[in-house]
């Protein structure tokens, strides 16, 4: 019974949501809107779970003094401090919350991402070698797209930007579309397997 | 060590140093290169140009994070300047939890700049009348679908806790019928889902501003017309800045222009070191074959 009821709910809601998406009748739209509102509320609970999980994970790390445990103190302190500042002082453009966000979190996030440029440049230099025909083609396409999309590209040759655009619009688009079709068919198959009760791992992983 | 071995084994610290110098250089030695406008950026610009003033809103979904701020934030600034210059009301919202702070910053920067230049009360921009920021909402797919029925139903209060029904702009913006285009500024798959759900169900027009690494994935959406235009990466932002300057909506180019100069020089550096590495590799392989 514990497994049968969730399977019945999944089947019924799955089929009803497919039908309501196709029928723009007021009753069908009202039903869809109500289910969507439930979903929004349920999704918000995921955030509560995530916060609980974060506290438990880092709490355990601090208690057992695992590797890099002082960073866990920073994480939890930051989370609590930002929550208090946000709730107490609001989130207006001139609030303390917004000031900390723009002057601490934003530069830290940008810095972390900017470090990738160094690793990418170093990795590209070391590994981007014309070892085979395929690698040479990849290298040539990358050069044409990089130079073609740079503002300098048009001065090297006026045809270069158009050629770079052709690479993106023809070979790239063909492969992207192929991948998209594959993903779409896979998604449909997985959704049908879940709705029809063939795929049951979401119930707890037991057969 | 032979010369070709040396150029294929450059110390990574030298590469890091060169990269740093090349990124910083354009900030101290500014130069201007004319941007070659890509068709997808021009399409998005033309679409916004075709929207009648004081009519439907432009919905901007701020779904980028501080990590991708250098690419997406200048897009947001340029778009807001374009819309406000043409008296098109803007409705902002976010589905990425890190984005609201950046969205508020974009609105504040542009509104303060334009209000300083405003010659009279009518030229000034006001929250609730000219623009609204709804804030963040969980359950992305359900929320974007349900906004087709009622935006106030999904966002009963805006980011600053005002009841949405009390804002003049929201009294005339009920659902997607009142939205000219939804432009999604993102570093992830959000634009795709805007096409899959609200566009297929309610026919809402979708535009996108994406990081350069995401852009190739979305070319099929441009070809089919599901995207009404797209800005790709910092280049897309710089192109949009050029377009609004050329049209006379603003006099100064934004941050993307300087960023693009750094990016162009760094691309040249990367191409050069890759070529050097390959020359070294080619000669080393020839040596190995001969011996």
Mean pLDDT rounded to a whole number for chain B = 92
Full DSSP string of B155-221 = -SB-TT--BGGGSHHHHS--SGGGEEEEEEEESSSHHHHHIIIIIHHH---EEEEE-TTTGGGGHHH
Chain B residues touching residue A36 (CB < 8 angstroms): 139, 142-143, 145-146
pTM: 0.90
Q: Do A117 and B23 touch (CB under 8 A)?
A: yes
* Tokens at A75, concatenated: 């994480």
Contact between B268 and B33 under an 8 Å Cβ cutoff? The reply is: no
What confidence category does residue A2 fall into, taking pLDDT thresholds of 50, 70 and 90? confident
* Tokens at B157, concatenated: 């209060």
* pLDDT score, position A205: 61
Option in B105, B159, B201 nearest A102 (CB)? B105
What confidence category does residue B251 fall into, taking pLDDT thresholds of 50, 70 and 90? confident
pLDDT digits (tens, 9 = 90+) for B143-178: 999 999 999 999 999 999 999 999 999 999 999 999
Q: Do A102 and B65 touch (CB under 8 A)?
A: no
Torsion angle, CA of B278/B279/B283/B284, rounded to 10 degrees?
Answer: -40
What residues are paired with B92 via a beta bridge?
B60, B133
* Mean pLDDT of the A47-73 span: 94
Q: How far is B59 from chain A (nearest CA, A)?
A: 20
Distances (CA, A) of B179 to A118, A159, B204: 42, 38, 7
What confidence category does residue A96 fall into, taking pLDDT thresholds of 50, 70 and 90? very high
pLDDT digits (tens, 9 = 90+) for B25-48: 888 887 777 778 999 999 999 999
Contact between A162 and A181 under an 8 Å Cβ cutoff? The reply is: no
Distances (CA, A) of B48 to B57, B78, B124, B224, B287: 10, 12, 21, 19, 59
What confidence category does residue B8 fall into, taking pLDDT thresholds of 50, 70 and 90? confident
Residues 178-207 of A with CB under 8 A from B: 180
Determine the Cα–Cα distance for residues A192 and A194; give it in Å rounded to an integer: 5
Q: Do A37 and B278 touch (CB under 8 A)?
A: no
pLDDT digits (tens, 9 = 90+) for B252-268: 888 888 888 888 899 99
Q: Do A36 and B34 touch (CB under 8 A)?
A: no
Mean pLDDT rounded to a whole number for chain A = 91
Option in B69, B220, B282 nearest A176 (CB)? B220
Chain B residues touching residue A121 (CB < 8 angstroms): 15-16, 19, 266, 269-270, 273
Sheet holding B57-63, edge to edge: B131-136, B90-94, B57-63, B179-186, B206-210, B227-232
DSSP A203: G
Chain B residues touching residue A40 (CB < 8 angstroms): 137-139, 142-143, 146, 154
What confidence category does residue A149 fall into, taking pLDDT thresholds of 50, 70 and 90? confident
Chain A residues touching residue B219 (CB < 8 angstroms): 168-169, 172-173, 176
Q: Do B67 and A36 touch (CB under 8 A)?
A: no
pLDDT digits (tens, 9 = 90+) for B64-83: 999 999 999 999 999 999 99
Chain B residues touching residue A35 (CB < 8 angstroms): 142
* Mean pLDDT of the B233-245 span: 94
Higher per-residue pLDDT: A200 or B180? B180
| Domain spans, chain A | 1-89, 90-127, 131-207
Determine the Cα–Cα distance for residues A95 and B101; give it in Å rounded to an integer: 11
Q: Say whether residue A62 is in contact with chain B using an 8 A CB cutoff.
A: no
Q: Say whether residue A40 is in contact with chain B using an 8 A CB cutoff.
A: yes
pLDDT digits (tens, 9 = 90+) for A110-145: 898 889 989 999 999 988 888 899 999 999 999 999
The DSSP element (H or E) to which B3 belongs, if any, is: helix B3-7
**Residue A158: closest C-alpha in chain B:** B36
* Mean pLDDT of the A59-73 span: 95
Residues 122-181 of A with CB under 8 A from B: 122, 124-126, 128-131, 139, 143, 146-147, 149-154, 161, 165, 168-169, 172-173, 176-177, 180
**In the predicted structure, residue A207 carries a pLDDT above the cut 70:** no
């Amino acid at each position: 019974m514990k497994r049968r009821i969730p399977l019945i709910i999944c089947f019924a809601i799955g089929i009803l949501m497919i039908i309501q998406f196709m029928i723009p009748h007021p009753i069908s739209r009202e039903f869809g809107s109500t289910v969507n509102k439930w979903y929004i509320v349920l999704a918000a609970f995921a955030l509560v779970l995530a916060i609980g999980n974060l506290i438990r994970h880092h709490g355990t790390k601090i208690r057992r003094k695992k590797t890099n445990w002082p960073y866990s103190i920073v994480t939890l302190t930051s989370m609590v401090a930002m929550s208090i500042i946000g709730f107490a002082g609001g989130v207006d453009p001139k609030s303390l919350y917004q000031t900390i966000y723009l002057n601490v979190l934003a530069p830290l996030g940008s810095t972390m991402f900017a470090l990738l440029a160094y690793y990418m440049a170093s990795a590209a230099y070391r590994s981007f070698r014309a070892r085979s025909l395929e690698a040479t083609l990849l290298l040539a396409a990358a050069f044409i797209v990089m130079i073609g999309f740079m503002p300098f590209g048009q001065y090297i040759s006026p045809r270069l930007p158009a050629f770079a655009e052709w690479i993106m619009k023809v070979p790239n688009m063909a492969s992207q579309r192929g991948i998209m079709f594959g993903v779409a068919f896979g998604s449909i198959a997985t959704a049908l397997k879940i709705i029809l009760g063939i795929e049951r791992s979401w119930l707890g992983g037991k057969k | 060590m032979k010369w070709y071995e040396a150029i294929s084994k450059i110390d990574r610290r030298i590469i890091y140093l060169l990269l740093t110098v090349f990124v910083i250089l354009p900030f101290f030695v500014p130069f201007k290169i004319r941007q070659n406008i890509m068709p997808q950026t021009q399409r998005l610009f033309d679409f916004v140009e075709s929207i009648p003033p004081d009519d439907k809103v432009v919905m901007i979904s701020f779904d980028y994070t501080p990590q991708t701020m250098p690419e997406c934030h200048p897009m947001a600034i340029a778009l807001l300047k374009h819309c406000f210059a043409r008296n098109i009301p803007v409705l902002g919202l976010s589905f990425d939890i890190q984005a609201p702070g950046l969205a508020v910053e974009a609105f504040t920067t542009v509104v303060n700049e334009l209000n300083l230049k405003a010659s009279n009360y009518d030229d000034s921009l006001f929250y609730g009348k000219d623009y609204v920021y709804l804030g963040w909402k969980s359950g992305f797919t359900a929320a974007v679908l349900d906004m087709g029925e009622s935006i106030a139903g999904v966002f009963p209060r805006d980011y600053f806790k005002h009841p949405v029904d009390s804002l003049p702009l929201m009294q005339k913006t009920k659902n997607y019928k009142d939205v000219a285009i939804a432009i999604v500024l993102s570093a992830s798959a959000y634009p795709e889902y805007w096409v899959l759900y609200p566009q297929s169900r309610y026919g809402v027009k979708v535009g996108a501003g994406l990081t350069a690494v995401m852009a190739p994935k979305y070319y099929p959406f441009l070809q089919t017309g599901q995207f009404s235009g797209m800005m790709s990466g910092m280049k897309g932002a710089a192109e949009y800045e050029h377009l609004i300057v050329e049209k006379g909506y603003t006099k100064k180019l934004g941050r993307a222009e300087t960023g693009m100069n750094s990016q162009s020089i760094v691309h040249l550096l990367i191409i050069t070191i890759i070529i050097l590495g390959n020359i070294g590799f080619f000669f080393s392989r020839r040596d190995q074959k001969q011996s």
